Structures are given as structure tokens and as C-alpha cells.
Amino acid sequence: MSAAEVLRIVIAEDDPVMREAVITVIAAAGGFEVVGSVGDAEAAIAAAREHRPDLVLLDVKMPHGGGPRAAQEIVRRCPGTRVVALSAYDDRGAILQMLQAGAVGYLVKGVSTNREIVETLRRTAAGEISLPAAVGETVLQELGQHLDRTEGEERHHEAIDARVRTVLASRQVGMVFQPIHQLATQRVAGYEALVRFDPGSSRGPREWLDDARTVGALVDLELLAVRTALTHVTELPGGAYLAVNVSPATAADEGLHDLVLSGAPSFTVLEITEHAPVHDYATFHRAVEPLRSAGVRLAVDDTGAGMASLRHLLDLAPDVIKLDVSLTRGIDRDRSRRALARALITFADDTGCDIVAEGVQTAQELDVLADLGVGYAQGYFLGVPQPSLEA
């Protein structure tokens, strides 16, 4: 056999006795060169990167990361290397897991004969998939189903990405504005800017934003929406503010800071939904400090809609608390909603926050909210979203 036909192989097995036994078997067969012999997953990945072998014989139960993770990394970093899994178990689940990670062959310790070991290594090096006969057909069927699902998910992801990127490239989003009324004076105190996407689509703003989050473009899409909203800031009636919805990541983004600080920061409110997690409040506060110092106010949107309300209110330290529609809807007929609203209003009074009730649809709801001490409200009863700012 010529040198060109010799298969270069890394043996990755945590049991040194088994490692030496495999080396002995393939040395006796000829046609193999062992370029690495290691005992854990990290070492297997490093050996594959260093030697770029034709094959890696990889134990499924590897210390420091496990066989599936090592297989995935080796296949990703060394496309020309083929991985053969080695396990003490003839386990369909373990086989499938390794195949999903990129392995193309599977050997069972203590069951596979010396001849089977050598033939499996050679077949996989030649491009075949080689599995134990007892489970091979079933596993291949399951692997095919997995690949079909993965391919479908990838196509779906690509379609979402194309849809979002088209909006970003065109820079065309719509905007409507819903008035926010001060109940004591019955005047418009501000407007909430609500983004609108393809008018011919059945997808609402939340679906579009979820899509953007899925493909890693949420900040870009929110910045586009904020930029569009702020073009209307000069239309604000005297004393009114403009509220824009952003995620914590966008609120901390320098691109948003440039947009807001170059506009009218003292008339801008950033609404941050209760549903969007803030992983590090101290870091978040440092990031938005330049905005708050310039007069930008923070609002917690959707308060009362989830389980994180109290912590979000305490740690975010907002200037405005917006009561979610799930809390205000039917509040005139529900003692529990009134009790929770009263507690939040007391909290707002004690901490110097304004309260805005969202989703008000009836005069009865508005009367109860006013009696409870809510200072501001918005909803279809008070004014529907409009394409322009109207006093």
C-alpha cells in the first residue's frame, strides 16, 4: 500500500487499555497511521484541528464535553475529517445522537470484531455510513426524519430572514399614533407610536418583531421603527411627548442614542415591555444613563401581564408605569383587578412614577380608573391610533 493510501487517524478514548487495543488492531491491519491518541473531548477536538486526519475514532462517553459535542466541533472545524463513534452500548438513541452531531460510523466495544473495526473505518473513510446491523436501518430512518425536519426548519428560518431583510432594505414601515390623555385635564399628554408593517399581510407587529428576534435583527428593525416615529416629533402639540417601544437591547444600543439625542430627548419616552428580560440591571442602567440625563423617560409597558412585574418595576426604576390591558379590561366589574391596580398606583405614588392605563374601552372602566387615582389613560374609548399626531 502506498503512502498516499494510508489513512491518518486520531483515536479518542478515555480508557487507555481500550485505546491501545484499537491501535494494535489497526496497526496489524495496515494502511493506518495513528497521528493522535487522546483521552477526552477537548483533546480530541484539539488533535483534529492540529492534524486534520482522515478519521477520528471517538468514544461516545468522553470526559470534558462528551462525544456528541466533540463530534460536532470536529466536523465543523475539520470538514475533511470523518468521525466514527465508539461506544460500550448498542444504543439506538446514542447512535442517533452521534449521527446528528456528524458521525458517519458506529462501533460497539466488545461486540465489533477486529475485522469489523477495520472495515468500518475504511468504509467511512470512503464516504459510506456504517452502523451496527441490528439497529442500522431503524436509525437511518430516524436520521432521515431528523434531517428532513432540520432542512424544513432551515428553509423556514431563511424565509423569515428574507422577509425581515426586505423590510430593513426598503426602510418602509408605517406608523400610527394613539393619544394618551391626562384624566384631570382631559388633554392629550402624549402619543404612543405604534409600528405597522406590510398592510397586505395578516402578520401583526408582534409577529414581525418575533421574526426579527429569531434571525438576530430585532435591534435593526426597532431602530428603523424608532427612526420613522421620530420624524414626526416636530408635529407634537405643545407639551406633549412621544412614546416609542423598544427592547432592552435596543434601549442600550448606541444607534438608538444617536437617534434620540439628536431629536427631542426631553419629549421622548422609551417603553420597555415587561416581557423583555433585562439580564443585568446595573449594566442596563449604565447604558441608558446618557439618555436619562438628557431628559428621556423610561416606561415599563404591559405591567401586570406577566410574573416578572414586581422585580421589573423595582430594578428598572421607571418614570412611567403602564397598566396592561389585561388588568384594565373589565376593571369596573372585577374586584381583584381593582385591588392589583390600587397596589400599583400606591407604588407609583410612593416612588414618583406616573401611571398610564392602557386599553380603556368603556366609560365605566375610565371612571373606576380615575377614582383609583390613575393619572393618564389610552384606549379606543379615548382615541384610536391615527397616521398623524392630532391634538
Q: How many CB atoms lie within 10 A of CB 255?
A: 14
> Who wins on pLDDT, 192 or 142?
192
Q: How far is CA 371 from CA 35, 145, 295, 335, 336, in A?
A: 80, 60, 30, 14, 16
pLDDT, position 102: 84
Q: How many CB atoms lie within 10 A of CB 248?
A: 21
Q: How many CB atoms lie within 10 A of CB 304?
A: 21
**Domain-wise residue ranges, the chain:** 3-139, 173-377
Q: How far is CA 125 from CA 3, 4, 121, 342, in A?
A: 15, 13, 6, 71
Look-up of cell digits 462501533: 107
What digits encode the pLDDT tens for the residues 300-356?
988 876 544 677 788 889 999 999 999 999 999 999 999 999 999 999 999 999 999
Q: Which of 35-44, 63-72, 182-191, 329-338 has the lowest mean pLDDT?
A: 63-72
pLDDT, position 305: 63
pLDDT, position 135: 52
Mean pLDDT of 29-52: 93
pLDDT, position 279: 82
What digits encode the pLDDT tens for the residues 131-188?
765 554 554 555 456 545 656 667 777 888 888 888 888 888 899 999 999 999 999 9
pLDDT, position 303: 80
Look-up of cell digits 408605569: 321
Percentage of the residues of the chain whose pLDDT score is greater than 70? 88
3-class DSSP string for the chain = CCHHHCEEEEEECCCHHHHHHHHHHHHHHCCEEEEEEECCHHHHHHHHHHHCCCEEEEECCCCCCCHHHHHHHHHHHCCCCEEEEEECCCCHHHHHHHHHHCCCEEEECCCCCHHHHHHHHHHHHCCCCECCHHHHHHHHHHHHHHHHHHHHHHHHHHHHHHHHHHHHHHCCCEEEEEEEEECCCCEEEEEEEEEECCCCCCCCHHHHHHHHHHCCCHHHHHHHHHHHHHCCHHHCCCCCEEEEEECHHHHCCHHHHHHHHCCCHHHEEEEEECCCCCCCHHHHHHHHHHHHHCCCEEEEEEECCCCCHHHHHHHHCCCEEEECHHHHCCHHHCHHHHHHHHHHHHHHHHHCCEEEECCCCCHHHHHHHHHHCCCEECCCCCCCCECCCCC
Q: Which of 12-21, 177-186, 275-284, 353-362 has the lowest mean pLDDT?
A: 275-284
Tell which phi-psi region holds residue 275, choosing left (phi > 0), alpha (psi between -120 and 50) or beta: alpha
pLDDT, position 223: 95
Q: Looking at the whole model, is its pTM more than 0.75? A: no
State residue 271 phi and psi, 5-degree precision: -95, 120
Mean pLDDT of 249-259: 94
**Cα of 314 vs its chain's centroid, Å:** 25
pLDDT, position 1: 42
pLDDT, position 170: 87
pLDDT, position 391: 54
Mean pLDDT of 6-18: 92
pLDDT, position 309: 60
For the beta sheet containing 55-59, the strands, ordered from the edge strand earlier in sequence to the opposite edge, are 32-38, 7-12, 55-59, 82-87, 105-108
pLDDT, position 202: 74
Q: What is the spatial distance between Cα 195 and Cα 177, in angstroms, rounded to a whole number?
A: 9
Confidence of residue 384 (pLDDT cuts 50, 70, 90): very high
What digits encode the pLDDT tens for the residues 151-166?
666 777 788 888 888 8
Mean pLDDT of 219-223: 94
The CATH number for 173-377, chosen from 3.20.20.450, 1.10.3720.10, 1.10.10.60, 3.40.50.620, is 3.20.20.450
Confidence of residue 3 (pLDDT cuts 50, 70, 90): very low
Closest CA to 181 of 341, 390, 378: 378
For domain 3-139, the CATH architecture is 3-Layer(aba) Sandwich (3.40)
Whether 2 has a pLDDT exceeding 50, the answer reads no
CB-CB contact of 376 with 358 (8 Å): no
Q: What is the spatial distance between Cα 101 and Cα 61, in angstroms, rounded to a whole number?
A: 14
Mean pLDDT of 34-50: 93
pLDDT, position 275: 62
Closest CA to 14 of 64, 54, 55, 52: 64
